[in-house]
Amino acid sequence: MKIAFDCQGGDHAPQAIVEGALKAKDVLGIEPVFFGDKTLLSSFEGVDEDHIVHCASAIEQEDSPALAIRKKKDSAVVQGLAALKEGLVDGMISAGSTGALLAGGMFIVKRKEGVERAALPVYLEISGQKKLILDVGANMDATPEMLLSFAKMGQSYLQDTEGVEAPTVALLNVGTEEGKGNQQVKAAYELMAQELKHFAGNMEARDVLFNNVNVIVADGFAGNILLKTIEGTVGYIQRTMVSLAKGSEKGGELKMLAKKILSDLDYSRYGGVPLLGLEKPVFKAHGASNAEAILSATEALVRMVGGEENSEGDVR
Amino acid sequence: MKIAFDCQGGDHAPQAIVEGALKAKDVLGIEPVFFGDKTLLSSFEGVDEDHIVHCASAIEQEDSPALAIRKKKDSAVVQGLAALKEGLVDGMISAGSTGALLAGGMFIVKRKEGVERAALPVYLEISGQKKLILDVGANMDATPEMLLSFAKMGQSYLQDTEGVEAPTVALLNVGTEEGKGNQQVKAAYELMAQELKHFAGNMEARDVLFNNVNVIVADGFAGNILLKTIEGTVGYIQRTMVSLAKGSEKGGELKMLAKKILSDLDYSRYGGVPLLGLEKPVFKAHGASNAEAILSATEALVRMVGGEENSEGDVR
């Protein structure tokens, strides 16, 4: 299995990306292809020159995603996705700009048939239960049909790559009763009730971390609010614990405790997120990824490539 | 100052409401008017029969709010709000159905001039800083103009009742840069940048508990997701701490610690929330209110009545 690594994106690129890719080669038996500056990349021990694709320009976080994809044809993102589209590699990993990867995914790799928009999920395991929340930021104004499509993509992903049988879906809403919410989710509820297998109805935001539903669907605006509120609340509580720890004899214990309590909610430990709805597997690693995180991301991508092959294709 | 108390609504009605109202009479010097079952209410020591308004039917949580307001004319909510409209009382408190109180507020008390919709905020003090988040559930599909109006109502409330000078406003969004978000918030941003004093721009959900902005504006859908995600995350962490406490020698300490860490985020301790945008002061106490909570709610309402009188009327 050949995997394209964007060696230009991420806080610790290219070092962390290259080291992670080489670890993945050892551990997972994949064949890494390195996209980036040839001179720089060939200076790393263990990088085969034949597996470097030289990319002269790089897409930066500040670049407008759509514009960057059109203008920077010789960037790692564009080159890597083009190689993926042409079948020269089986999957692609980037720790760079999420927007650019999404835009590139849509323009270059293209969407699966019947998929109107690609979606960005977040993956969590809470008390051992696998959960996918999507969309968390790719689609700001989503139609009810798109929400239905996100639900199916989420189910499909959990089933094919994480082995979840009959994944259940809930619609993020302000109340559990039918008829709650804004026009968009009211219409989405009706669609889902008709067309979705294992639909569990509406879910309030307060139940997301407790409820045993697998896929939680929202548009990119509401999903982003949900995700970043979890992040902010965890951060606030962590800060409070650390500040209490300072004045306490049991400072060390308190910090350990904070870490233990909050680890389930730390979605960064899953390496990143898949881009859902594209023709081929693309994985977004966290910007702050170190080599270990790149390895985790590659593991998830390898499952994703395998899942695509095993998919029955019954879900859009 | 005469205050109408809905003695039918709330988990501990009528007892907690009556006791809270009598405390408020002692502590704050207000004159309580009790709306509810006359026979029942007159059995409480300290309740003057002349201050009871008999209400034969009660609005239940399960009732459709708009329908209940139209059909149950002899309920405490309808009678209390009618007395408020007519100027027989100066403010109204209810711990019953939020929906019915809102619907009644709009139909009976009416909105202030220029206000298209009443809004439901939540009030928090984080590290001593006063914050109002609105709307958290009254308006599911809000126009950009409504969001601007919520911002002004929030500023006005903090200024007039909480003494916050020059309250700043942020718009809840998925990123801080101008141009982020869905169509609704993009348009709202432009409006606010033009028409709002002390506009601090967009705010991401992860910064809500950290940032020192006073008013955070969202539509009722996104605001509800924000609020209930804080609640759910706090609940999750609390549960984890309590469960860790069980297996620990330091169980008691851990529980104390959890309480201390989470108390800033417990918005129930503020007694309830004002309904913003109405002609006259209406306060929604928490459903679970005990007599102390009703006293807190009355204190807030008294500040609100005073604030209305002092308001310069320069903010819608």
pLDDT 10s digits, A46-68: 999 999 999 999 999 889 999 99
Q: What are phi and psi of A294, to 5 degrees?
A: -65, -35
A224: contact with B, CB 8 A cutoff:
yes
Instruction: Tell me, yes or no, if A144 comes closer than 8 A to chain B by beta carbon.
Output: no
Strand partners, B259: none
Helices (H), chain B: 15-28, 38-42, 65-71, 76-85, 98-104, 144-162, 183-195, 220-246, 251-262, 291-310
Q: Into which CATH architecture does domain A1-110+278-316 fall?
A: 3-Layer(aba) Sandwich (3.40)
Give the pLDDT score at B269.
73
Query: What's the pLDDT band for B212 if we cut at 50, 70, 90?
Result: confident
Which residues, numbered 178 to 197 in chain A, qualify as contacts with chain B under a Cβ-Cβ cut-off of 8 Å?
A: 181-183, 185
* B:60-79 residues touching chain A, CB 8 A cutoff: none
Chain B residue numbers with beta carbons less than 8 Å from the beta carbon of A207 are 232
Share of chain A above pLDDT 70, in %: 97
**Are the Cβ atoms of B234 and A237 closer than 8 angstroms?**
yes
Strand partners, A123: A132
The pairing of beta strand B272-274 with beta strand B282-285: antiparallel
Q: Is A280 helix (H, G, I), strand (E, B) or coil?
A: coil
Place of tokens 């499509």: A149
A218 to chain B: which residues are within 8 Å by CB? 225
What's the pLDDT tens digit per position in A165-199? 999 999 999 999 898 999 999 999 999 999 999 99
Same fold, A1-110+278-316 and A118-268: yes
- Provide the token pair at A252: 């060390």
Question: What residues of chain B lie within 8 A of the CB of A209, using their CB?
Answer: 232-233, 235-236
Q: Which of A96, A99, A100, A97 is nearest to A9 (CA)?
A: A96
**Chain B contact present for A232, CB below 8 A:** yes
Flag whether residue B208 sits within 8 Å of chain A, measured between CB atoms: yes
Q: Is it true that domain A118-268 has CATH number 3.40.718.10? A: yes
Minimum distance, in Å, between the CA of residue B116 and any CA atom of chain A: 17
Measured between alpha carbons, how far is A278 from A186 in angstroms, rounded to an integer?
27
- Please indicate whether, in this complex, the C-beta atoms of B257 and A235 are within 8 angstroms of each other: no
Alpha-carbon distance of B102 to B109, in angstroms, equals 10
- Paired with A93 in beta bridges are A5, A283
Q: Is B176 in CB contact (< 8 Å) with chain A?
A: no
Which pLDDT belongs to residue A310? 65
CA atoms within 13 A on the CB side of A219: 22
CA separation for the pair B74, A34 (Å, rounded): 76
Question: Strand (E) positions, B70-209?
Answer: 91-94, 121-126, 129-134, 169-173, 199-204
pLDDT at residue A211 in the model = 81
Mutation site for A-interface testing, chosen from B133, B174, B257 by largest number of A Cβ within 10 Å = B174
Question: Contacts of residue A254 in chain B, CB cutoff 8 Å?
Answer: 257
- For B194, residues 6+ apart whose C-beta sits below 8 A from its C-beta are none
- Model confidence at B259, pLDDT cuts 50, 70, 90, reads confident
What local confidence, expressed as pLDDT, does residue B310 receive? 65
Contacts of A264 in chain B (CB under 8 A): 240
**Phi and psi torsions of B310, nearest 5°:** -85, -15
Query: B226 touching A, CB under 8 A?
Result: yes
CB contact under 8 A, A221 and B182: yes
The minimal CB distance from B233 to the residues A185, A233, A241 is found for A233
Would you state the pLDDT for residue A3? 98
Q: Is A228 on the interface with B (CB under 8 A)?
A: yes
| Calpha distance B107→B69 (Å, rounded) | 8
Query: With pLDDT > 70 as the criterion, what percentage of chain B qualifies?
Result: 97
Residue B21 contacts residue B32 (beta carbons within 8 Å): yes
Report the gap between the CA of B264 and the closest CA in chain A (Å). Answer: 10
CA distance A103 to A93: 14
Best of B171, B206, B246 to mutate (most A CBs within 10 Å, chain A): B206
Comparing A33-42, B118-127, B211-220, the range with the smallest average pLDDT is B118-127
Rounded to an integer, the average pLDDT of B243-249 is 76
Which residue would you say has higher pLDDT here, B4 or A263? B4
Q: List the 248-267 stretch of A: residues with Cβ below 8 A of B.
A: 254, 257, 260-262, 264-265
Residue in chain A lying closest to B243 (CA): A261
Helices (H) and strands (E) in chain B, counts: 10, 11
| End-to-end C-alpha distance for chain A, whole angstroms | 24
B265, A236: Cβ pair inside 8 Å? yes
Chain A: residue whose CA lies nearest to B242: A261
Contact check, Cβ <8 Å, B262/A237: yes
Please judge whether A229 and B234 are an interchain contact, meaning their C-beta atoms are less than 8 angstroms apart. no
In chain A, the residue whose alpha carbon lies closest to the alpha carbon of B206 is A232
pLDDT at A265 over 90: no
Structure tokens at B256: 């104390």
Q: Would you list the domain boundaries of chain B?
A: 1-110+278-316, 119-269
Q: Is B235 exposed, middle or buried (0-12, 13-18, 19+ CB in 10 A)?
A: middle
Nearest CA of chain B to the CA of A65: how many Å?
Answer: 13
**Model pLDDT, residue A316:** 35
Q: What is the DSSP string of A70-106?
A: HH-TTSHHHHHHHHHHTTSSSEEEE-S-HHHHHHHII
Domain B119-269 fold:
Isopropylmalate Dehydrogenase (3.40.718)
- Round the average pLDDT of chain A to a whole number and report it: 92
In this prediction, residue B246 carries a pLDDT of 78
CB contact (8 A) between residue B210 and residue A231: no
Confidence of residue B111 (pLDDT cuts 50, 70, 90): very high
Nearest CA in chain B to A235: B206
Mean pLDDT for chain B?
92
Q: What is the mean pLDDT of residues B172-194?
A: 95
Q: Give A269-311 pLDDT, tens digit per residue.
A: 778 899 999 999 999 998 889 999 999 999 999 999 987 776 6
Q: For A114-141, write each residue's pLDDT tens digit.
A: 898 999 999 988 888 899 999 998 999 9
pLDDT band at B314 (very low <50, low <70, confident <90, very high): very low
- Which pLDDT does position B315 carry in this prediction? 41
Say whether pLDDT at B312 is over 60: no
Check if B156 contacts A (Cβ < 8 Å): no
Task: Give yes or no for B279 touching A (CB within 8 A).
Answer: no
> pTM to 2 decimals?
0.90
Q: Strands across the sheet with B129-134, in order? A: B121-126, B129-134, B215-217, B169-173, B199-204
- DSSP states along B53-86: EE------TTS-HHHHHHH-TTSHHHHHHHHHHT
pLDDT in tens, A217-260: 999 999 999 999 999 999 998 888 888 777 777 777 777 777 77
Q: What angle do CA B81, B274, A223 make, to 5 degrees?
A: 125
Cβ-nearest to B206 among A181, A235, A244: A235
